[in-house]
């Protein structure tokens, strides 16, 4: 018996395992389907895509996307201590003030959650106007050895007319800057590094790896359903229960948390019945409200042979091993521009990411030569999708249907963002480094051709959120205190609770949600 049982040792789970076990009077169990984070590629920043479709990745696939040429898109998610913070591009991009104010929930406005970001951050190298925290557990640094083409991109952004920012993570993030990264001395600094590993020697914290959570133990209480624990499958195949005297906390992410709720009978009764799952609690929105950032990269050849195509050459390997510098110390996505494509918006609608390498097919396709990528990302899509349980078998993946570009306004904004990207490629500072197009293999002649390109090649930026929506209304899956409606003793604290996707990246708000959850759980 434990006081708290946490499911998922990703970004949020690592935070909660640390913060809750800091009280020596409570016991905490952390259950993770993946294994330890000792593999070398986890810690070498530029090697993150080497972890895709390996045992460290859930390697999900979406349903065929009608408006993306019926393609099934690959969605990597971390299956390892640290979760996706152990396989991501290490970008610390919090989002815009209006994102959090727009949630319109007590306790979650920008001014209220900013102290939690500061609690997380150990920012070094820059702290303009006290934008960051400086004594938190998560190291956030400047890239040690940025590519020379990154400066050309930043100069081109200025020539195009965008605003050069000193800090990307100011309350209004409109403008461009180098990417702040979750690294320490040229090495990835994941949520496991920041939170979990320092806590593992505590006798009141039990970390259980290689164990798939199959169902929540939900029993009838005096006032309705109560979560009493978690049933999980050990690596040996044995089925075991971890009982919780206080709370069960789901931190399994935007896919894992709603899936586990549905496997446990919490969801839409019709969907549950179709999968052969008895209903414990009717909650229609579990799995709905799925949102993601869709990215389309313009990739060009370059005559300037300094790109990360050479990152695995012997000289670069030696440079990294000896000094933690060189191309292998790059996070690949070295600069960011947050763009308004029209006047009157309360925040940016497009993000541009610069990568000094041809980032083809999640890194699976070997580039045909030196090149670089300017990716254009739709920040707040109107299109929303859903995740659906398909079987009572916990090992069967759910159906994932993000419904990309089902709203025509999303397509219009994607095209507007790509027009800005083309303009920056044509700016003098970058134009001298631009050769022939690589993808597409010729420049589209008009919007119709560019739209065809988008539907053929757009991919996820790896940011699913929203499937256990937090809200003040009775239909929401969790309330502002993160308690699951209809089930006592159960909370969700991860990216799945975000009501609306942020105009940034999702790792930062996920850690913030977990930090706030720790206070809510401890009644601080």
Give ∠ CA 449-385-14 in degrees, rounded to 5.
115
Question: What's the burial of 321, exposed, middle or buried (CB within 10 Å: 0-12/13-18/19+)?
Answer: exposed
Residue 248's pLDDT band (cuts 50, 70, 90): very high
- Domain for residue 185, yes or no? no
- Domain for residue 139, yes or no? no
Is residue 138's pLDDT more than 90?
yes
Domain shared by 471 and 447, yes or no: no
Domain shared by 504 and 443, yes or no: no
Residue 223's pLDDT band (cuts 50, 70, 90): confident
Domain shared by 356 and 444, yes or no: yes
- In this structure, what token pair is assigned to residue 11? 């970004």
Q: What percent of the chain has pLDDT over 70?
A: 99
Torsion of CA 512, 515, 517, 521, to 10 degrees: -170
Contact yes or no for 17/199 (Cβ under 8 A): yes
| Phi, psi (rounded to 5 degrees) for 33 | -70, -30
Q: What is the mean pLDDT of residues 490-502?
A: 98
Q: What number of residues does the chain have? A: 524
- Domain for residue 87, yes or no? no
| Percentage helix, strand, coil for the chain under 3-state DSSP, each rounded to 5 | 30, 25, 45
Could you list the residue range(s) of the whole structural domain that residue 157 is in?
144-178+294-378+406-457
Measured from the Cβ of residue 223, the count of other Cβ atoms closer than 10 Å reads: 7
Work out whether strand 28-31 and strand 2-7 pair parallel, antiparallel, or are unpaired: parallel
Upstream peptide bond of 316 is cis (omega within 30 degrees of 0): no
State whether residue 515 is helix, strand or coil. Answer: helix
User: What is the total count of domains within the chain?
Assistant: 2
- The catalytic site residues sit at 463
Domain shared by 283 and 329, yes or no: no
- The pLDDT of residue 523: 86
Is residue 126's pLDDT more than 80?
no
Is residue 11's pLDDT more than 90?
yes
Question: What's the burial of 163, exposed, middle or buried (CB within 10 Å: 0-12/13-18/19+)?
Answer: middle
Domain shared by 334 and 446, yes or no: yes
Rg (CA), the chain: 22
- In this structure, what token pair is assigned to residue 409? 């306004």
Identify the CATH number of the domain in which residue 232 sits: 3.50.50.60
Biggest alpha carbon distance in the chain?
72
Domain shared by 351 and 374, yes or no: yes
Of the candidates 179, 6, 202, the one whose C-alpha atom is nearest the C-alpha of residue 91 is 179
Helix 447-457 to helix 408-426 angle (10° resolution) is: 100
Domain shared by 478 and 347, yes or no: no
Euclidean distance between CA atoms 289 and 287, whole angstroms: 7
Contact yes or no for 134/298 (Cβ under 8 A): no
What is the pTM assigned to this prediction? 0.97
Final residue in a domain of this structure, among 417, 436, 457: 457
Domain shared by 233 and 371, yes or no: no
Domain shared by 314 and 437, yes or no: yes
State whether residue 359 is helix, strand or coil. Answer: coil
Euclidean distance between CA atoms 158 and 427, whole angstroms: 9
Of the candidates 393, 333, 365, the one whose C-alpha atom is nearest the C-alpha of residue 52 is 365
- The pLDDT of residue 127: 63
- The pLDDT of residue 73: 98
Number of helical (H) and strand (E) elements in the chain, helices listed first: 13, 26
Q: What is the mean pLDDT of residues 207-216?
A: 98
Cβ neighbours of residue 9 closer than 8 Å, sequence gap 6 or more? 17, 30, 31, 32, 34, 81, 82, 83, 192, 196, 207, 209, 251
Give ∠ CA 398-510-215 in degrees, rounded to 5.
35
Domain shared by 353 and 432, yes or no: yes
- The pLDDT of residue 129: 66
Euclidean distance between CA atoms 500 and 502, whole angstroms: 6
Q: What is the mean pLDDT of residues 427-447?
A: 97
- Domain for residue 256, yes or no? yes
- Domain for residue 251, yes or no? yes
Measured from the Cβ of residue 140, the count of other Cβ atoms closer than 10 Å reads: 26
- Domain for residue 100, yes or no? no
- Domain for residue 298, yes or no? yes
- Domain for residue 366, yes or no? yes
Locate tokens 């330890």: which residue? 36
Of the candidates 342, 343, 348, the one whose C-alpha atom is nearest the C-alpha of residue 376 is 348
Cβ neighbours of residue 462 closer than 8 Å, sequence gap 6 or more? 75, 76, 77, 84, 88, 293
Q: What is the pLDDT of residues 472-485, one digit of tens each?
A: 999 999 999 999 99
Identify the CATH number of the domain in which residue 323 sits: 3.30.410.40
State whether residue 417 is helix, strand or coil. Answer: helix
End-to-end Cα separation, the chain, in angstroms? 24
Q: What percent of the chain has pLDDT over 90?
A: 97
Of the candidates 497, 493, 484, 491, the one whose C-alpha atom is nearest the C-alpha of residue 511 is 493
Locate tokens 């971890």: which residue? 242
Q: What is the pLDDT of residues 361-379, one digit of tens each?
A: 999 999 999 999 999 999 9
Q: Where are the beta strands (DSSP E) in 124-277?
A: 138-140, 175-178, 183-184, 187-188, 205-208, 212-221, 224-233, 239-250, 266-267
Q: What is the mean pLDDT of residues 493-508?
A: 98
Q: What is the pLDDT of residues 143-185, one digit of tens each?
A: 999 999 999 999 999 999 999 999 999 999 999 999 999 999 9
Euclidean distance between CA atoms 404 and 382, whole angstroms: 9
Least confident of 127-136, 301-310, 423-432: 127-136
Q: What is the mean pLDDT of residues 461-477?
A: 98
| SS3 annotation, 456-493 | HHCEECCCCECCCCECCCCCCCECCCCEECCEECEEEC
Domain shared by 302 and 280, yes or no: no
Q: What is the mean pLDDT of residues 114-129?
A: 88
Domain shared by 170 and 308, yes or no: yes
């Amino acid at each position: 018996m434990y006081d708290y049982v946490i499911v998922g040792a990703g970004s949020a789970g690592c935070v909660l395992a640390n913060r809750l076990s800091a009280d020596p009077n409570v016991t905490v169990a952390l259950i993770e389907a993946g294994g330890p984070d000792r593999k070398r590629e986890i810690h070498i920043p530029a090697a993150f895509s080497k972890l895709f479709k390996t045992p460290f990745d859930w390697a999900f696939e979406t349903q065929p996307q009608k408006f993306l040429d019926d393609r099934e898109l690959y969605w990597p998610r971390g299956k390892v201590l640290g979760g996706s913070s152990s396989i991501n591009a290490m970008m610390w991009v919090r989002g815009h003030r209006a994102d959090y104010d727009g949630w319109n929930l007590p306790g979650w406005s920008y001014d209220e959650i900013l102290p939690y970001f500061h609690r997380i951050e150990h920012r070094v190298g820059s702290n303009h106007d006290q934008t960051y925290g400086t004594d938190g557990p998560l190291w956030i640094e400047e890239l040690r050895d940025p590519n020379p083409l990154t400066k050309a991109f930043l100069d081109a952004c200025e020539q195009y007319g965008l605003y050069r920012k000193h800090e990307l993570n100011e309350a209004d993030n409109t403008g461009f800057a180098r990417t702040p990264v979750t690294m320490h001395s040229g090495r990835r600094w994941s949520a496991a590094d920041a939170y979990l590993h320092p806590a593992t020697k505590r006798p009141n914290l039990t970390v259980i790896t290689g164990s798939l959570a199959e169902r929540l133990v939900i029993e009838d209480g005096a006032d309705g359903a109560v979560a009493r624990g978690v049933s999980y499958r050990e690596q040996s195949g044995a089925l075991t229960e971890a009982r919780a005297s206080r709370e069960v906390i789901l931190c399994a992410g935007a896919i894992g948390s709603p899936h586990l709720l549905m496997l446990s009978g919490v969801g839409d009764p019709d969907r549950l019945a179709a999968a052969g799952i008895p209903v414990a609690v009717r909650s229609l929105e579990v799995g709905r409200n799925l949102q993601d950032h869709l990215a389309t990269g313009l990739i060009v050849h370059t005559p300037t042979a300094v790109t990360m195509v050479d990152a695995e050459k012997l000289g670069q390997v030696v440079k990294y091993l000896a000094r933690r510098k060189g191309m292998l110390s790059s996070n690949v996505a070295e600069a960011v521009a947050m763009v308004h494509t029209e006047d009157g918006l309360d925040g940016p609608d497009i993000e541009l990411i610069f990568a000094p390498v041809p980032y083809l097919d999640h890194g699976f396709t070997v580039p045909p030569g030196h090149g670089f990528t300017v990716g254009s990302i739709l920040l707040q899509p109107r299109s929303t999708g859903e995740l659906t349980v398909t079987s009572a078998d916990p090992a069967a993946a759910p159906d994932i249907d993000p419904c990309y570009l089902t709203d025509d306004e999303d397509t219009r904004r994607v095209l507007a963002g790509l027009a800005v990207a083309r303009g920056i490629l044509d700016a003098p500072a970058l134009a001298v480094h631009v050769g022939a197009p690589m993808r597409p293999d010729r420049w589209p002649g008009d919007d119709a051709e560019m739209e065809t390109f988008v539907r053929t090649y757009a991919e996820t930026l790896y940011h699913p959120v929203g499937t256990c929506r937090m809200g003040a209304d009775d239909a929401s899956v969790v309330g502002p205190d993160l308690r699951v409606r209809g089930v006592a003793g159960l909370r969700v604290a991860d990216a799945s609770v975000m009501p609306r996707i942020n105009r940034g990246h999702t790792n930062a708000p996920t850690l913030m949600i977990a930090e706030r959850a720790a206070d809510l759980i401890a009644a601080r």
